[in-house]
Structure 1
Amino acid sequence: MEAINQSLFLLIGASAQPDRGVVALAILFGEYAIWLVPVTLVFGWLRGSDTLRHWLIEASASALLALLAAQIIGVLWPHPRPFAIGLGHALIVHSADSSFPSDHLTFLWAVAFSFLMHPEARRAGWVLALLGLPMAWARIYLGVHFPFDIAGAASVSVFSAWLSALGGRWFAAPVVRAAMLAYRPLFAPLIRRGWVTR
């Protein structure tokens, strides 16, 4: 399996003299596109309904659970990154911690798959889930992940989204109610102007 993993990495990863435009695109998706996740969560909270806020809390819990699971997996099974074993070409600076699973993809897909479970959030879920494809390519191309790291992220994210959906009925509503006690007074001027929803 490791031979397949490394062969796929060498097939996708950057060459010794990569095209600058392709590198810039990879950095955009591999380093900065992840910020669309918190932007989506904040925008959804400010402009969405209470039902959507319920799904946002659930998606946030899914992300936290998935990242916790990824850290535990990394400690229990420390898998070196490609550059740590002299494989391929690392185009960005990254710590030499465990590569499996990808934290970027785990975070993104944990939120995306959670959204996909609910009709009101499904469109955002599809956008984020599909964003994971160029992000996965970029993380491999930039030399910081193996293809199996991406598959691991998908598996962890699906499981965390499923667990969060099971538990969401108990924890999401109380969290939303508590958050709204602070949100409505703090954002009262913006709510009155209709810039954010009540």
Structure 2
Amino acid sequence: MEHLNKTFFLWLNAPEHPNALVVTLATFFAEWLIWAVPILIGIGWLRGNENTRKVLLVATASGLLGLLTNQIIGMAWSHPRPFMVGLGHTLIPHVADSSFPSDHLTLWWSVAISFVLQRGLRSVGVALALFGLPIAWSRIYLGVHFPLDMLGAIAVAAFSAVLTLHEARWYLGPIYRLATRIHSLLFGRLIALGWVRE
């Protein structure tokens, strides 16, 4: 398995003299696109109704659980990144921590799968899931992840999305009430002006 992992990595990793435009595009997908998740959740919360907000809270819980799961996996089994074993070409800086699974992709796909599993934002979830593919490619192309890290991210994301949705009855009500109270305190003036939903 590790031999295949390294073989596929070298096939997808950037060449010694990569095209500058491809590197720029890959860097955008690898480092900047992830910010679409909190922006999307923030805008959705401000403009959405109660059902949309609850979908967003479950998706947020899914993303957080996915990242927590990754930390536990990393402590139990630390897998080196490609540059830590002198493999391929690394085009962006990254801390030398465990590569498996990919945190970026776990967060992205945890939210995407959570949206797909719930009513209200399924089409957004499908779009996010599809955009996860260039994120996965870019992290390998730029030399900070192996292909197996992406498969691990899919597994963790699916686990997190299913579990947080299945167990939502235990946490969603109290968290929703707390979040709406904080929302009212922070945005009371904008709610009164009609710029933000109550």
TM-score under structure 1 normalisation? 0.97
Compare 175-184 and 4-13 and name the one that shifted more. 175-184
Aligned residues: 198
User: What's 1:70 paired with?
Assistant: 70
User: What's 1:194 paired with?
Assistant: 194
Deviation at 1:75, TM superposition (A): 1.1
**Aligned-pair Cα RMSD in Å:** 1.0
Deviation at 1:190, TM superposition (A): 1.6
What amino acid is the match of 1:118? Answer: Q
What amino acid is the match of 1:122? Answer: R
User: What's 2:98 paired with?
Assistant: 98
Deviation at 1:84, TM superposition (A): 0.7
Displaced runs of 4+ in structure 1, greater than 4 A?
Answer: none
Unpaired runs of 5+ in structure 2? none
Map 1:128-143 to 2 at 5 A. 128-143=128-143
Superimposed CA distance per residue, residues 56-103 of structure 1 (whole angstroms, 9 cap, x where no aligned partner): 111111111111110111111111100111110000010111100000
Map 1:26-105 to 2 at 5 A. 26-105=26-105
Superimposed CA distance per residue, residues 118-150 of structure 1 (whole angstroms, 9 cap, x where no aligned partner): 120112211211111000000000000000000
Compare 7-16 and 183-192 and name the one that shifted more. 183-192
Deviation at 1:114, TM superposition (A): 0.7
Q: What is the CA–CA distance in structure 2 between the aligned matches of 1:34 and 1:181, rounded to whole Å?
A: 28
What amino acid is the match of 2:176? Answer: V
Identity between Structure 1 and Structure 2 (%): 52
Q: What is the CA–CA distance in structure 2 between the aligned matches of 1:195 and 1:111, rounded to whole Å?
A: 26
Unpaired runs of 5+ in structure 1? none
Deviation at 1:55, TM superposition (A): 1.1
TM-score under structure 2 normalisation? 0.97
Deviation at 1:167, TM superposition (A): 1.1
Deviation at 1:192, TM superposition (A): 2.7
Deviation at 1:181, TM superposition (A): 1.6
Map 1:3-22 to 2 at 5 A. 3-22=3-22
